[in-house]
Chains A and B, each alone.
Chain A
């Protein structure tokens, strides 16, 4: 696990903020629900449907396998979120729509029918989200579930990776209706903090989003884009990046270029997976990474 902070430090910060983070609380097999949790959801990210290349020779089937794995969970999640890069980009608008259509067909096999989508730059940056919206509707929205307020933020429809003033105003208006202690989960594609600017692992105006979120004591961010598990804290707000379902990317700054980690036939699904998030009482989030099952 890559961490951007010392674990003890994190727990200390978590304690102050009233946000505890736990990993591996679950039994290795069987139910995915931790004791005392209110509910759980599953995060898929960076499925990149349509990718072909040496970094994942099985790319045409990896998503289906992950769907089967999640369908096999003894405790089915309340809902499922996809944090962007549903499809791999293409210059051809017809092909983009064909990929979005096929992606939608594959994930319609999920047993859980409450599924929320978000775009990544591969889906939305070349046409400002036009095709994406035809299939999945608005790229930013909110919903409430069992007392938790979820906010999906779009930092990819603008090809320069800006949330933009309009959406910032929308976010500010939504937050105005929250109390400082309300539980808020932000879901987005790119990191909202400067994770590694030399690889463009940032959001151009992410600092403005964080400034708006800062007054709220109970905020956590789930995102994708970097194709690996990663945890970071800005002040009291934790950010958790998810693995992808196409190919893992190197840890920030660990090699000169952010090229995909090479495929290894001996461990074909290494570094790929989905994630179960148990939203606990007492403002805790227990994360369990779910590997792609072997064929």
Chain B
């Protein structure tokens, strides 16, 4: 279940969500599975997540230190991750496979290693 405080934080994330990354309002369906990913120099935690084809997931992205980026080119997803807010990104994978996500805002010596993998099962 989505509690009210989380929902409000999603709304707070709206100004920083961009492109296909969508901020979710009060009408969000509770059935969506949440995947929390935390960013800090120079890693995502977790660096490996799983999803299923056709199953909607809600990525809840946060940062522990500075602004980072979150990009998944295979699903045309990208957003900034700003400290202090949770950025919600909705995704329903339409195909199985292993898809990378990575930071696309240069954040220092180690930026190139800042990535992870989403395993989508058929």
Contacts and interface: CB of A to CB of B under 8 A. Distances in A.
Interface of A: 88-91, 121, 125-126, 156, 159-161, 197-200, 204, 257-259
B106 A198 contact: no
B121 to A, nearest CB: 19
Contacts of B80: 160
26 contacts: A88-B109, A89-B106, A89-B109, A89-B111, A90-B109, A91-B108, A91-B109, A121-B106, A121-B111, A126-B106, A126-B107, A156-B106, A159-B105, A159-B106, A160-B69, A160-B80, A160-B105, A161-B104, A161-B106, A197-B73, A199-B102, A200-B102, A200-B104, A257-B115, A258-B112, A259-B113
Interface of B: 69, 71, 73-74, 80, 100, 102, 104-109, 111-113, 115
Contacts, number: 38
Nearest to A258: B112
A36 B52 CA distance: 60
B111 to A, nearest CB: 8
A252 B108 CA distance: 22
A36 B108 CA distance: 45
Contacts of A259: 113
Contacts of B105: 159-160
A88 B108 CA distance: 10
